[in-house]
Amino acid sequence: RVLSLELNKDRDVERIHGSGVNTLDIEPVEGRYMLSGGSDGVIVLYDLENLSRKPSYTCKALCSVGRSHPDVHRYSVETVQWYPHDTGMFTSSSFDKTLKIWDTNTLQPADVFHFEGTVYCHHMSPVATKHCLIAVGTKSPKVQLCDLKSGSCSHILQGHRQEVLAVSWSPRHEYILATASADSRVKLWDVRRASGCLSTLDQHNGEKSKSSSEAANTAHNGRVNGLCYTNDGLHLLTVGTDDRMRLWNSSTGENTLVNYGKVCNESRKGLKFAVSCGCNPEFAFVPYSSTIAVYTVFTGELITMLRGHYSTVNCCVLQPNFQELYSGSKDCNILAWIPALRDPVPDDISEKSPPQQHLNPAYEDAWSSSDEEG
């Protein structure tokens, strides 16, 4: 299904945003409701389900926190995230220096956290049962941990030298957090430890640092502005403004040295990309200028470029139940990429066909679909 993703002519996402779409999130409970956050501070909630059952439909916006809402963010919303355990709550953070906790039913903020600097990103653990910490990356090099239970933001992780552009909790260990900064570094933390930092990822795996102290322990040769764990939490993908993507073993901190080629990245802030779920091989979906590049995670092969947006793509998110992809762009649009429905093979042919026909489609060219060109 992932290999046959294409822009779906039959599915639209209702256009509400009057400016760029920076962030998307689909709730993990049913995989039915999607949030979007825009450069104008607006947040929109969509229902992705096709209630009409017609082949062509538009994903309707159920409600929004619009410009006239008393609690709307004053500046660009950079991150939205559903509360991982139910859809009654979601979170948003913004360049207006706040993180807001929303009650979905009333669209009122249940809590607001204020920071000294611009907020670039935040994340809640998808697996935590023993804590309710939200990790927040801001203009300050200190990573803040806000506790939903107590309402305090007292816990701080110190170690970065510049602003923190991306944060991500491990989907495997509830106390492990990865952070990425403009200081070219990616750090892994155990938030229970007083010293905090477990390791700083080194692109050279310790080999270069002997000769030059300057380049020691940098993950990228530029700002690191994107992080994404694989679903099992065993690996971590990072992207940086050095136009590189790297895959790390998250338990050893080792650079696996997978080469993805040039991964064009001109974003001055966080870049939100996605990894497939339950596929073999696994894929990464990465905004690449006005397209989305699809790579195989473990071999680095560029499988295809999804073209459809008119301007820079800021974010993409996967709906894992159906392997559907949604992307948000500076062009104000949210696009739905749905697996193409192929004609079923007639039974009499499939029985006679030799077994080597069933090659893993990742290793053949599935993209010259001639039925679309005519």
- pTM of the complete model: 0.89
Nearest residue to 24 (alpha-carbon basis) of 340, 307, 322, 333: 333
Other beta carbons within 10 Å of 67: 10
Kindly give the parts of the chain with pLDDT less than 70: 208-215, 342-374
User: In angstroms, what CA-CA distances link 83 with 95, 155, 226, 257?
Assistant: 21, 20, 21, 34
**Tens of pLDDT along 119-176?**
999 999 999 999 999 999 999 999 999 999 998 887 999 999 999 999 999 999 999 9
The Cα–Cα gap between 15 and 223 comes to 32
The confidence score (pLDDT) of residue 52 equals 85
- Distant-in-sequence contacts of 103-109, Cβ < 8 A, 24+ apart: 104/45, 107/63, 107/65, 107/69, 108/71, 109/71
Q: What one-letter code names the amino acid at 282?
A: E
Alpha helices in the chain (DSSP H): 347-352, 370-373
Q: What one-letter code names the amino acid at 9?
A: K
User: In angstroms, what CA-CA distances link 304 with 15, 297, 300?
Assistant: 26, 13, 12
Other beta carbons within 10 Å of 356: 6
The confidence score (pLDDT) of residue 267 equals 87
CB burial readout 93-116, b (16+ within 10 A) else e: bbbbbbbbbbebeebebeeebebe
Which positions ≥6 away from 248 have C-beta within 8 Å?
186, 201, 219, 235, 236, 237, 238, 254, 255, 256
For the chain, give every domain's residue range.
2-339
DSSP structural state of residue 362:
G
The Cα–Cα gap between 200 and 28 comes to 30
Cβ atoms of residues 164 and 180 within 8 Å:
yes
CATH topology of domain 2-339: Methylamine Dehydrogenase; Chain H (2.130.10)
The confidence score (pLDDT) of residue 354 equals 47
SS (H, E, C) 268-294: CCCCECEECCCCCCCEEEEEECCEEEE
Backbone angles phi, psi at 363, to 5 degrees: -100, 10
Cβ atoms of residues 36 and 21 within 8 Å:
yes
List beta partners, residue 122.
Answer: 136
Cβ atoms of residues 135 and 145 within 8 Å:
yes
Nearest residue to 72 (alpha-carbon basis) of 17, 147, 144: 17
The confidence score (pLDDT) of residue 340 equals 84
Cβ atoms of residues 126 and 173 within 8 Å:
no
| C-alpha angle 114-191-185 in degrees, rounded to nearest 5 | 80
DSSP structural state of residue 344:
P
